[in-house]
Amino acid sequence: MNEFLKSILDGIHMVIPSYGWSIVAFTILIRLVLMPLDYKSRVGMRKISKLAPKQAELQKKYAKDQEKFQRKLSELYRKEQVSPMSSCWPMLVSMPILFAMFAAMRMMANEQLVQQTFDIITAGAPTLEPFLWVKNLWMPDSPFTSAWPDLQSLNLIPEGEWLRMFNALPAETLAVLQEKVLAASGMELTAASFAGDALKSTIANIGLTLQTVPEYAANTAVNTNLTLNLLVTQMSVAVNYNGFFILPLLSAASQFLMSKINPSTAAPAATGDQAAQQNSTNNFMKWFFPLFSLWICLSYNAAFAAYWVTSNLIAMAQNYGINKYLDMKEAKAAANPEATTDVSGKGLK
């Protein structure tokens, strides 16, 4: 699945030469494919929400007999032809696709960073991938990160990507790479250098080789006069900084808005301690996901942040459109009860 999605992204890039805009188009395509599942999920949420008052009555009536409450609740669901999992299954089906998307984009970013690293060693400079205000799409959108690949980013790349890109090098480029790594670190670079425990030492030697490139040292330097002192660390603005935190902030803001206007689940009615616990959980999740989005987009590359922001914006637009459509169908059904249809679009006799 990862390779399949990556091949789709590569195909889009052949038509749209910018990887940034290719990712936007790729995300739109995936969201459209998942739209039927989003629709079914929204329909399921509505059905469960409409039963909330009846569920509250049962909960109050059988507060001291939870076994009977669950039995009566199941009877209510059967009578109303509602499945409590109807809003969850579509999302569970879509999750593997979204995870595969993430993996495909990670493969693409790793491939590009390895290629940029080899280009720096063999040619003195990489071919960067700009997008909007970001200088290099494969590095984080942050003023504290350089646009050129750094050792921290290289250590996150698995051995398979290093080995694949190493084996794909043209003979002349490979000879130059091996010569320069040997001269800088004394290491003879081979395919075995990227396997298993040897990888960490190999990346360290590649880092030593990068430091011998004058342009690399200049482009990964930091401005010590612009340093942010935190409780556990210090962060200095890079001389050739890669961005301004805009995409990570947009990812957190869009995630927060999505949780506000598009609740992901239809919460059942609750009273007393259950209501307090439910509200506490909802408040926690409302803040957890935006902060998690901020953290992962700060620590990962701008390509993933661009995907995350685009996906959130499209999801909000889709859910808004689906809700409007369902509102219209319900209003039409209320105005003409003799020829009614439920919100899923199926006719009722």
Digit-coded pLDDT (tens) for 121-180 = 999 999 999 999 999 999 999 999 999 998 888 998 999 899 999 999 999 999 999 999
Q: Is residue 157 part of a domain?
A: no
Q: Which of the pair, 333 or 208, is modelled with greater confidence?
A: 208
Task: Give residue 117's pLDDT.
Answer: 94
pLDDT of 183 higher than 90: yes
Averaged pLDDT for residues 55-81: 79
Q: Is residue 51 part of a domain?
A: yes
Averaged pLDDT for residues 242-264: 84
Q: Is residue 214 part of a domain?
A: no
pLDDT of 25 higher than 90: yes
Range of the domain at 333: 2-150+220-339
Q: Which of the pair, 264 or 217, is modelled with greater confidence?
A: 217
Spatial separation of the C-alpha atoms in residues 4 and 300, rounded to whole Å: 22
What percentage of the chain exceeds 90 in pLDDT? 32
Q: Is residue 14 part of a domain?
A: yes
pLDDT of 244 higher than 50: yes
Which residue, among 58, 83, 63, has the nearest Cα to 73 in the 3D structure? 58
Lowest pLDDT segment from 132-141, 239-248, 257-266: 257-266
Q: Which residues contact 175 (CB under 8 A, 6 or more apart)?
A: none
Q: Is residue 161 part of a domain?
A: no
Q: Is residue 203 part of a domain?
A: no
- The domain tally of the chain equals 1
Give the pLDDT band (50/70/90) at residue 348. Answer: very low
Q: Is residue 33 part of a domain?
A: yes
Spatial separation of the C-alpha atoms in residues 196 and 300, rounded to whole Å: 24
Task: Give residue 266's pLDDT.
Answer: 46
Give the pLDDT band (50/70/90) at residue 269. Answer: very low
Q: Is residue 263 part of a domain?
A: yes
Asked if residues 262 and 312 have their Cβ atoms less than 8 Å apart, the reply is no
